[in-house]
Structure 1
Amino acid sequence: MSAGLEALMLSAEPRPASTLLRAAEGAAAVWAAPRPGGGLSEDALLVLPLGPDSAVLAVADGMGGLPEGGIAAARAITALATTVESGLADGNSLQGAILDGISRANAAVLSMGTGSATTLAVAELAGGWIRAYNVGDSEIMVFGQRGGLKLRTLSHSPVGFALQAGLVDHEQALYHHDRHLVSNFVGSHDMRIEVGSALRLRPLDTVVVCSDGLVDNLRLAEIAAIMRCGPLDRRLEKLADQATMRMTTRPKTQDSHPSKPDDLSIIAFRRRPGRALARRLPPTRQLGLGDESTAKNDWGHP
């Protein structure tokens, strides 16, 4: 990690929390919350600055219905972060370090021996480019300033593959009875890593990395309309509020709006966040990734 840049690794949040960090010459805004009325979140996330213009953003969503999903997500994020840092220190490329980190994450979850599993979405930011890596149905999206969709990862699920094949449209996918099924995950001997092509980010493009708590409750056009411009942290707060409202509001009709209570984890990134937001960014500090107490204190926990 570059001196003066702060890393954030977060899991098992008991209440909604948000923060701003400096990353990859820009700003990352983070939101994490357990499902409404639930206990601890079973999501985990990572913002790992690695140099003046590079960083890794990641979200893991522990799979419900399986034991210790939250622990699986936390172990996956920890393995990814430590492997990326050690790999870069050994002179490996960032792409190679991320791929090794995802493989180590899979081994870490398998070693639990409990049948636990998690999704994992990783965004590599380097030199003004983004590359997406994903396992499962957590997502990475990139929106232009006018709301145009420039990148969206494919959900590794029956519904995701049906959407890609044109068998269902986005609206049908939101309400599909198999929406909860995932066909590829961390914690499987058959895990497959999907690696996207590199995409050049324009200065005002917005990157969103999220668990399915977001995309199961808001339509893509709604996400784009909120996140395409405006102060990054405040737009993210509005996005999270909208998703949470959907989770807690009973639809008037079966298809009036999606509603699926779930943990919610979102990272939003912009290379040029604007002068007003830049003034609100925390001062740079050097924080070792292993200093968990400092990372937790930034979120108001001891």
Structure 2
Amino acid sequence: MTFSTEFGWTSAARSDVGCVRLVNEDAVLNSPEQGLWAVADGMGGHAVGDLASRMVIERLTGLSTGGALGNVIAEARDRLLRVNDELRAEAARRQVSRIGSTVVLLAARGGACAYLWAGDSRIYLFRNGRLAQLTRDHSHVEELKARGQLTAEEALHHPAQHLITRAVGALDTLELDESSVALADGDTFLLCSDGLSNEVTEAEMASELAPGNCEAAAQRLLEMALERGGRDNISLVVAHAEDVLGSDRTQVNPTL
């Protein structure tokens, strides 16, 4: 496995209303030329969740992408804080308790990626034949698991499974977590709303991501979630990094 500072990106995105909902309250950003990808999931059951997710993605699409990775993430954070204020004001104007959206953003510069998130939309990394979840859900169930009050198996069927503790627009103060990872040749990232992660297992995700074909993986993962019932909106982005300078290629996850 080689690490480098020059990577080329391919990516593919899908967003579908699913088989049950009438409105798609998800939105996605797929911009490999900018090194930016995001998924936003409007809060189901609340007023105009589609407005919230669309506002989140529109603000992130306008990010300045010429600077250092840390500057990109800092600007993304500032923009999301402003969206939070706007959504709180809009909820007050409409006299509803909240208008909100989860968000997960991945940004790439040189040989690294940084990501930030609020809510239960996720980022996974497939590397060297293994899938790892990079984000930790901001949810009631995840807090119970962290305290040892709930097993992973119990969490799958817990009645509060969809109760999230953070989202853009949910509270007057928005808390965003962030982290970063050094890139390796052949890395493939999956960003998704819970409409995918609740229907498709991690083993199935890994199997579809392994070849490094973004379009094929995105389409097949969407189809699998729909086949399982598509109980929620389903959104995902698959992004694949290729080391354009390195002579070594990881053999487990080869660049196509």
Partner residue, 1:70: 50
Partner residue, 2:30: 47
The alignment partner of 1:99 has SS state of: helix
Matches within 5 A, 1:73-152: 73-82=53-62, 84-85=63-64, 93-113=71-91, 114=94, 115-149=98-132, 151-152=133-134
Q: Deviations over 1:124-156 (max 9, x none)?
A: 21113122201111111111141242x421111
CA shift at 1:76, angstroms?
Answer: 1.5
Distance 2:66 2:9 in 1: 21
- Residues 192 and 140 from structure 1, CA distance in 2 versus in 1: closer, same or farther, beyond 3 angstroms? same
Distance 2:29 2:114 in 1: 16
CA shift at 1:88, angstroms?
Answer: 5.5
8 Å contact from structure 1 (residues 61, 138) kept in 2 = yes
Structure showing greater relative contact order (alpha-carbon pairs closer than 8 Å, 6 or more residues apart): 2
Distance 2:21 2:209 in 1: 27
Corresponding residue to 2:190 among 208, 233, 257:
208
Partner residue, 1:262: 232
Provide structure 1 residue ranges, at least 5 long, that are not aligned to the other structure. Answer: 1-23, 249-260, 277-302
TM-score (norm: length of structure 1): 0.70
Moved more, 165-174 or 228-237: 165-174
Distance 2:11 2:210 in 1: 14
Matches within 5 A, 1:147-226: 147-149=130-132, 151-187=133-169, 188-196=171-179, 198-226=180-208
Partner residue, 1:235: 217
Runs (4+) of structure 1 exceeding 4 A deviation are: 273-276
Distance 1:229 1:50 in 2: 22
Distance 2:88 2:99 in 1: 7
Give the percent of matched residue pairs that are identical in Structure 1 and Structure 2. 25
TM-score (norm: length of structure 2): 0.82
8 Å contact from structure 2 (residues 139, 164) kept in 1 = yes
Moved more, 60-69 or 229-238: 229-238
Partner residue, 1:61: 41
Provide structure 2 residue ranges, at least 5 long, that are not aligned to the other structure. Answer: 1-6, 243-252
- Residues 49 and 225 from structure 1, CA distance in 2 versus in 1: closer, same or farther, beyond 3 angstroms? closer
CA shift at 1:230, angstroms?
Answer: 4.4
- Residues 153 and 130 from structure 1, CA distance in 2 versus in 1: closer, same or farther, beyond 3 angstroms? same
The alignment partner of 1:203 has SS state of: coil
- Residues 146 and 95 from structure 1, CA distance in 2 versus in 1: closer, same or farther, beyond 3 angstroms? same
Distance 1:233 1:49 in 2: 13
Partner amino acid for 2:73? Q
Moved more, 210-219 or 30-39: 30-39
8 Å contact from structure 2 (residues 126, 206) kept in 1 = yes
Distance 2:99 2:59 in 1: 15
Partner amino acid for 1:48? S
CA shift at 1:183, angstroms?
Answer: 1.0
CA shift at 1:222, angstroms?
Answer: 2.3
CA shift at 1:33, angstroms?
Answer: 0.4
- Residues 59 and 227 from structure 1, CA distance in 2 versus in 1: closer, same or farther, beyond 3 angstroms? same
